Amino acid sequence: MAADARNTLIQTYYRALFQAWGPQNWWPARSRFEVIVGAYLTQNTAWTNVEKAMANLRAARLLSVKGIRKVALAELERLIRPSGYFRQKARRLKTFVDFLDQQYGGSLTRMFARPTKEIREELLKLNGVGQETADSVLLYAGNHPVFVVDAYTRRILARHAILTDDASYEDVRKLLEKSLAPLAESADNSEESFNPQRTASFPNPPHPPSPMSAAKRTALTQVYNEMHGLIVGVGKNYCKKSQPECDGCPLQAFLPDLK
């Protein structure tokens, strides 16, 4: 498929999904550090398990840089146990705080003030930070303009013959970023530019707005944020791994005729 056609299709998907479901209010967190903890804990587990681990940390008043710095490793493991792989994840959270302390004096503001490419490279060197985790931290906690590619993104694009299964993370990321950027330059990504009558109700209640989902951000990061949340909705509710359930999916009208 030609590059221009792919870009146009992805913009069309964004409009169709946003028209159908509206804002998804990602990321559900009260602070930048909560986003980061969530990005680590959500690896290889469902979000409901992350919420239990986060609730434990919050109840223990440890959901902060200071809290993770001071808590004993064994106690941290106990608190985040519901998220699975808890020993590994506890060590990784400690590693992140050590990195923040050593490189940025414990300041997320100083870390996120660095250019996107440089922080991304630093994050990717940390134990347990892959591309999806690094980009979640950059986009949702740092307001940096990167698109978060997940398994849902790949699956949907492959099933619609926009990309092949073996496309690299970077290829998918660049395609989404390039395709969606023009939406941020126009007013077309605003709620007002769409028909307020939703064309389909979201199958599960979307997350309620959180301090981080409602935080001020650039138009570009807002579009990347929204598209990622919408794709998660498609993947969780319709485009399932074993078998797509296309009836009712807002992208059904765009399925290619592969015959």
239 beta partners: 244
Question: Exactly one of 18, 27, 96, 238 binds ligand SF4 (CB under 6 A); which one?
Answer: 238
Count of beta carbons in the 10 Å neighbourhood of residue 87: 13
Q: Which CB, 36 or 234, lies closer to ligand SF4?
A: 234
Question: Exactly one of 15, 159, 203, 233 binds ligand SF4 (CB under 6 A); which one?
Answer: 159
The string over 42-79, giving b where at least 16 C-beta atoms fall within 10 Å of a residue's C-beta and e elsewhere, is bbebeeebbbebbebbeeeebbbbebbeebeeeebbeb
d(C-alpha 173, C-alpha 168), whole Å: 9
37 binds ligand SF4 (CB under 6 A): no
231 binds ligand SF4 (CB under 6 A): no
Question: Exactly one of 41, 123, 156, 232 binds ligand SF4 (CB under 6 A); which one?
Answer: 156
20 binds ligand SF4 (CB under 6 A): no
Count of beta carbons in the 10 Å neighbourhood of residue 110: 12
d(C-alpha 10, C-alpha 157), whole Å: 9
Nearest distance from residue 157's CB to ligand SF4, in Å?
9
10 binds ligand SF4 (CB under 6 A): no
Cis before 21 (ω within 30)? no
d(C-alpha 218, C-alpha 23), whole Å: 16
Name the segment binding ligand SF4 (CB under 6 A); options: 19-27, 40-48, 208-216, 243-251: 243-251
Cα→Cα distances 214→69, 97, 141, Å: 28, 25, 12
239 binds ligand SF4 (CB under 6 A): yes
Nearest distance from residue 244's CB to ligand SF4, in Å?
4
Q: Which CB, 87 or 240, lies closer to ligand SF4?
A: 240
Residue with the two structure tokens 């398990």: 49
Q: Which CB, 193 or 252, lies closer to ligand SF4?
A: 252
200 binds ligand SF4 (CB under 6 A): no
Positions 160 through 179 that interact with ligand SF4 (CB under 6 A): 160
249 binds ligand SF4 (CB under 6 A): yes
d(C-alpha 156, C-alpha 159), whole Å: 5
Q: Which CB, 211 or 256, lies closer to ligand SF4?
A: 256
Cα→Cα distances 242→235, 236, 238, 245, Å: 11, 12, 11, 10
Nearest distance from residue 249's CB to ligand SF4, in Å?
3
Question: Exactly one of 5, 75, 246, 256 binds ligand SF4 (CB under 6 A); which one?
Answer: 246
Residues at the site binding ligand SF4, with contacts judged by CB under 6 A: 156, 159-160, 234, 238-239, 244-246, 249, 251-252, 255
